[in-house]
Amino acid sequence: MNSRESILERLARNSPPDSSLPVLPVTKTELPNAVEKFTAVLEGIGGSVVQVTNWNEINVYLNKYFATQGRWINRVPELTNMDESVEFGVDPHQYENVLVTILKGDFGVAENGAVWITDDKMGDRALPFICEHLVVIIHSKDIYPTLHEAYDHTDQSDYNFGTFIAGPSKTADIEQSLVLGAHGPKSMTLFLLKES
């Protein structure tokens, strides 16, 4: 008997009687002020939230607050004149010097300030993690109250890799002192787009 079979045999022998799964979500959360909650939570964990009403405002903001001489990779077609022509899927190590990555997120979660991003929007899976500054754009209508609604929403979606990102990379391993920019981005700027 190989290990797989012996493990399965022991599990069959030792499993307790069945017990039922709970009904989810435990409590339906109504959140009329989802944008405010999301903003407060994300800012509380080190992210910056900027509300905008059109794509051009994002252009203006980025050019004003981020150094333009470094390498930017933009994966948002609506944002023009900052594209670098990159061939994705070759070697992720080539992104090591990326200063700013700009991505579209799918949605945000109000209770924890996280944004869901899937690999089809990343170009390369390394990009959200390897850059110095991460910029993500979501529509302000796409904010769910809790993770229960978030998982309901993505239940049928297919992705190869998806991640919740909530703020910049951080650590408090040295005497519980919070430091932003552990290995990944030192900042995360989240644009909430509310088109009129």
DSSP reduced 3-state for 100 = strand
Rule CB under 8 A: choose which of 105, 108, 113, 145 binds another protein: 113
Min CB(172)–another protein separation in Å: 8
CA angle 73, 126, 109 (to 5 degrees): 90
Peptide bond into 168 cis (omega under 30): no
- Ranges within 140-159 binding another protein (CB under 8 A): 146-148, 150-152, 154-155, 159
Q: Which two tokens stand for residue 165?
A: 């990102």
The stretch near another protein (CB under 8 A) out of 51-59, 78-86, 100-108, 165-173 is: 165-173
Residues contacting 108, CB < 8 A, separation 6+? 38, 42, 114, 115, 116, 138, 142, 143, 144, 190, 192
The reply on whether position 31 binds another protein by CB under 8 A is: no
The reply on whether position 49 binds another protein by CB under 8 A is: no
Min CB(113)–another protein separation in Å: 6
The reply on whether position 22 binds another protein by CB under 8 A is: yes
